[in-house]
């Protein structure tokens, strides 16, 4: 009996130890942040740090990047695998894409931007004021960043944008000890997927909750506008893109641009196409299919009908041109010529959708003032 009692107590003690060990392991496991629409990154929060995995820094990337955003004073596990460690919240950053700016501004952290390659591309009034004050330095071109100026700025991190794995400037920067992390917002295939990358910046600045609130508001506005568009009685036929070197380039039907047209309750005439990049078609093919289209949106760099006709008199054959229903994003520019659509659009898909609804279904948004899409002069 004594032996049995000893064995029972021993097993009970071991079970309690195992249970305690199991609970401890569970408490050390990270909590994955809810990423609802974006496919290119994940955020897992641990005590003292976050693990950000960027799955698609560029199309067809062979492997993901693992970044540790480490809070001051915290200790990291010894067996942690990563590509870069960044102390957060960051105080000085270099960014390489204008799409990074609206998210940083939304978090009220534009003062942390210290360098950018190609300042004239920036449209935002808030960030341009910092440029005018000399608080943001010119870094040349994205493919050939002035590393000497960048090193003098001593940023906490460089937020990279790249189309493939070959970027000598970033390699040089990393050798100096300045971490480079890739932001792949541009690889997302849906409007809300692009916008959700604000959570990436939220983690970088220690403002995760604020970033989530901002995204939730954008998503709510987008979905409300989408529901409103479905109440329209008709779905007008729409074409997009423009001619370049005798070929008409337009978005594929599975692109994020085409998703806007669908959600705005318009019939994009090339909605059944699929592919990466842009669809390239002969002018005659487009004319045959789209001559009677009611609207033409995203008409390239054109800002007036005079420019349009100077490029090609054949444009006059389209009904959308005859009825003055051609809309371009090139009319909404910053003071140095940057196109606002390419900067703010990915972060504010709700505004893009409302623009298009106001064009296709003006009765649904009577007092709305378009932000990006304007009629040609």
Among 164, 189, 218, the domain boundary falls at 218
Rounded to an integer, what distance in angstroms lies between the CA atom of residue 332 and that of residue 329?
6
Helix or strand holding residue 338 (H, E): none
127 lies in the same domain as 267:
no
Read off the pLDDT of residues 45-72 as tens digits, 9 standing for 90 and up. Answer: 999 999 999 999 998 899 999 999 999 9
116 lies in the same domain as 241:
no
Q: Residue 101: give the domain boundaries.
A: 31-218
Half-sphere exposure for 333 (CA within 13 Å, toward CB)? 12
pLDDT computed for residue 28 by the predictor:
60
202 lies in the same domain as 239:
no
Is pLDDT at 5 greater than 80 in this prediction? no
129 lies in the same domain as 72:
yes
Of the pLDDT bands very low, low, confident and very high (cuts 50, 70, 90), residue 318 is very high
pLDDT computed for residue 16 by the predictor:
40
Among 218, 250, 268, the domain boundary falls at 218
Among 176, 197, 218, the domain boundary falls at 218
Question: Is 225 inside any structural domain?
Answer: no
Is pLDDT at 8 greater than 60 in this prediction? no
Alpha helices in 241-332 (DSSP H): 256-263, 283-290, 305-311, 319-322
CATH number at residue 184: 3.40.50.1980
Sole residue written with tokens 């699929």: 274
Long-range contacts of 131-140 (CB under 8 A, 24+ apart): 135/111, 139/94, 139/115
pLDDT computed for residue 156 by the predictor:
97
209 lies in the same domain as 243:
no
As a whole number, mean pLDDT of residues 315-328 equals 96
Question: Is 162 inside any structural domain?
Answer: yes
Cis peptide before 89 (omega within 30 of 0): yes
Using CA of residue 290, residue 292, residue 293, residue 299, what is the dihedral sign?
Answer: positive
The answer for 92, left when phi > 0, alpha when psi is -120 to 50, beta otherwise, is beta
Question: Is 23 inside any structural domain?
Answer: no
211 lies in the same domain as 264:
no
Rounded to an integer, what distance in angstroms lies between the CA atom of residue 358 and that of residue 236?
13
Share of the chain above pLDDT 70, in %: 93
Read off the pLDDT of residues 131-147 as tens digits, 9 standing for 90 and up. Answer: 999 999 999 987 789 99
339 lies in the same domain as 278:
yes
Query: Of the ranges 166-170, 215-219, 223-227, 254-258, which one carries the lowest mean pLDDT score?
Result: 166-170
Rounded to an integer, what distance in angstroms lies between the CA atom of residue 231 and that of residue 39?
30
Burial-class residue 4 by CB neighbours within 10 Å (0-12, 13-18, 19+). Answer: exposed
As a whole number, mean pLDDT of residues 153-158 equals 97
177 lies in the same domain as 280:
no
Residue whose C-alpha is closest to residue 255's, from 279, 231, 232: 279
How many domains in the chain?
2
Read off the pLDDT of residues 242-268 as tens digits, 9 standing for 90 and up. Answer: 888 889 999 999 999 999 999 999 999
Q: What is the mean pLDDT of the chain?
A: 90
List the strands of the sheet with 84-88, edge to edge: 31-32, 41-46, 49-54, 65-71, 84-88
Q: Give me 374's structure tokens.
A: 């304007």
pLDDT computed for residue 221 by the predictor:
98
70 lies in the same domain as 164:
yes
Share of the chain above pLDDT 90, in %: 80
Strand 295-297 to 326-328 pairing: parallel
Strand 93-95 to 113-116 pairing: parallel
Read off the pLDDT of residues 349-376 as tens digits, 9 standing for 90 and up. Answer: 999 999 999 999 999 998 899 999 999 9
- Do the beta carbons of residue 137 and residue 114 sit within 8 Å? yes
């Amino acid at each position: 009996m004594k032996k049995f009692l000893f064995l029972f107590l021993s097993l009970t003690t071991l079970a309690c130890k195992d249970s305690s060990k199991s609970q401890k392991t569970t408490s050390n496991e990270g909590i994955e942040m809810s990423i609802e629409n974006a496919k290119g990154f994940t955020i897992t929060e641990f005590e003292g740090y976050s693990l950000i995995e960027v799955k698609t820094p560029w199309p067809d990337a062979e492997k993901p990047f693992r970044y540790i955003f480490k809070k001051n004073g915290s200790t990291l596990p010894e067996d942690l695998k990563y590509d870069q460690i960044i102390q957060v919240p960051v105080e000085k950053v270099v960014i390489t894409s204008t799409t990074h700016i609206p998210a940083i501004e939304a978090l009220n952290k534009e003062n942390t931007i210290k360098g950018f390659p190609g300042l004239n591309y920036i449209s935002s009034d808030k960030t341009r004021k910092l440029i005018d004050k000399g608080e943001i330095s010119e870094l040349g071109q994205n493919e050939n960043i002035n590393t000497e100026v960048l090193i003098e700025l001593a940023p906490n991190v460089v937020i990279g944008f790249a189309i493939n794995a070959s970027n000598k400037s970033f390699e040089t920067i990393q050798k100096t000890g300045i971490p480079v992390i890739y932001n792949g917002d541009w690889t997302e295939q849906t409007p809300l997927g692009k916008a959700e990358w604000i959570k990436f910046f939220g983690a970088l600045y220690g403002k995760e909750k604020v970033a989530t609130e901002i995204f939730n508001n954008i998503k709510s506005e987008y979905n409300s506008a989408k529901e409103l568009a479905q109440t329209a009685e008709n779905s007008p036929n729409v074409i997009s893109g423009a001619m370049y070197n005798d070929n008409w380039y337009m978005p594929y039907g599975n692109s994020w641009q085409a998703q806007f047209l669908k959600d705005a309750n318009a019939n994009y005439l090339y909605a059944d196409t699929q592919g990466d990049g842009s669809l390239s078609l002969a002018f005659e093919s487009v004319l045959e299919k789209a001559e009677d289209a009611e609207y033409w949106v995203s008409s390239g760099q054109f800002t007036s009908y005079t420019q349009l006709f100077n490029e090609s008199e054949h444009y006059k054959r389209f009904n959308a041109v005859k009825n003055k229903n051609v809309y371009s994003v090139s009319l909404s520019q910053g003071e140095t010529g940057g196109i606002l659509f390419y900067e703010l659009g990915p972060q504010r898909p709700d505004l893009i959708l409302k623009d298009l609804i106001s064009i296709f279904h003006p009765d649904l948004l009577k007092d709305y003032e378009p932000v990006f899409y304007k009629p040609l002069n």
